[in-house]
Amino acid sequence: MWDTLGLIVYAAKMFHEMFEKNTETWCVMRRCLVSNGYGDEAISFFTRFKREGNKLDGEIFKEIFSAYALTGDVKKGLIQFEAMQKDYGIKPSMEHYNDVTKMLATSGHLDEALSFNEKMPVEPSVDVWETLMNFSRVHGDVELGDRCAELVEKLDDTRLDKVSSAGLVANVNYKYNRTNDIDTSRPETDMIYEMLESLQLQMLEMGYVPSTREWRNERVEKENKQEWTFGYKEEVAVVKKLLDSRPRSSVTVISTFRICQDSHDALKLMSEITGRQLIERDSKKFHQFGKGICSGKLVS
C-alpha cells in the first residue's frame, strides 16, 4: 500500500522492521524502488539480496536492468546481463533483451543498443525495435528512429498506426498544448491563475528563469514564450490542490507524462514560497518537493 502512494520512506521502514523476509517481500520492495525512480537504492537491495544467499531468477534481473537504466550505469548493467547467463544459468527471454535495449537507449547509448540488437542470438522482436525507435526519437536521432520504424512496420504493420505513432503524436501535442485544455469558463479558474501569477512574480524575484528550450511551435512568438512556459499543467494542478486543501497539508499530483526540467525547477520554488510539501508523480517516479529542494534520495 505504501509503495503505491509513493511514501517510500514508510515502505522501507516497514521492510526493515520485518522479522522475517521472504522472496516476495524483497521483490515488492525492490520493485517499489524501481517504479519510483530510486535506482541506486534498488541496486543496493539487489546486492544485499544476493549476499544473504537468496536465489535469483529471471524476474529479478528484469528489475535490476530497469534500476541501471535509472542510474545510467550501463556498463554494470551489461555485466549483470552476462552474469545472469554465465553465473546463474538463466537463459535470456525476449523481455530481458528488450529491458537491456531500454537500459542502453534510455541513457542515450543508441549505437550500443543497436549493436546489442544486431548481435542477439535470436531475431529481435517488434517490441525491441519499437523501444529503440522511440528512444532514438527522444534523443533526436531521427535517422536511427526511421530505420527502426521500417523494421517495426515490417514485423507488425499495425504498430506504427495504432501504438507508436499515436503515442509519439500525443506526446508532441502535449508539449505544445499543455495549457490549452484548461477550462477557463469555470469560476475557480480566475483564482487559480491569480495565484499562479502571484507565485510567478515571487519566483522571478528569486531568480527563476522559465526555460524555452522545449518550444518549437511556430505559433508561439519569441516574446510570448515566457508567458507560455509558465502555467504548465503540473503547476496548474498543484495550485488547484493548494486552494482545495487544508493549510500546511501536503499536496499530491499525478501525471502520466514525465515532468520537464522547467516545471521541476518551478515546483521547487513553489514549495519554498508556500511552505508546503508538494508531491508530483510523473510517468517515471515520485518527486517530493519541500523547502525549495526535491528529495531524490530515499531518507534512511
Residues 236 and 285 in one domain: yes
Domain end, chosen from 151, 176, 201, is at 176
The confidence score (pLDDT) of residue 188 equals 59
Instruction: Among 115-119, 213-217, 290-294, name the one with the lowest average pLDDT.
Output: 213-217
Residues 261 and 198 in one domain: yes
Spatial CB neighbours of 224, under 8 Å, sequence gap ≥ 6: none
Yes or no: say if 181 and 232 are a contact pair by the CB < 8 Å rule: no
Domain residues for the domain of 138 are 8-176
DSSP assignment, residue 162? I
Q: How many domains does the chain have?
A: 2
Amino acid making up residue 34: V
Quote the CA–CA distance of 193 and 230 in Å, as a whole number.
Answer: 11
CATH of the domain at 154: 1.25.40.10
13 inside domain: yes
Q: What is the pLDDT of residues 6-36, one digit of tens each?
A: 466 677 777 777 777 777 788 788 888 887 7
CA neighbor of 299 nearest in space, from 60, 6, 8: 8
C-alpha cell at 197: 501569477
pTM over the 0.85 mark? no
Q: Which of 122-131, 175-184, 285-294 has the highest mean pLDDT?
A: 122-131
Q: What is the pLDDT of residues 170-205, one digit of tens each?
A: 333 333 333 444 444 444 566 677 677 778 878 888
Neighbours of 23 (CB within 10 A): 14
Cell numbers 493548494: residue? 242
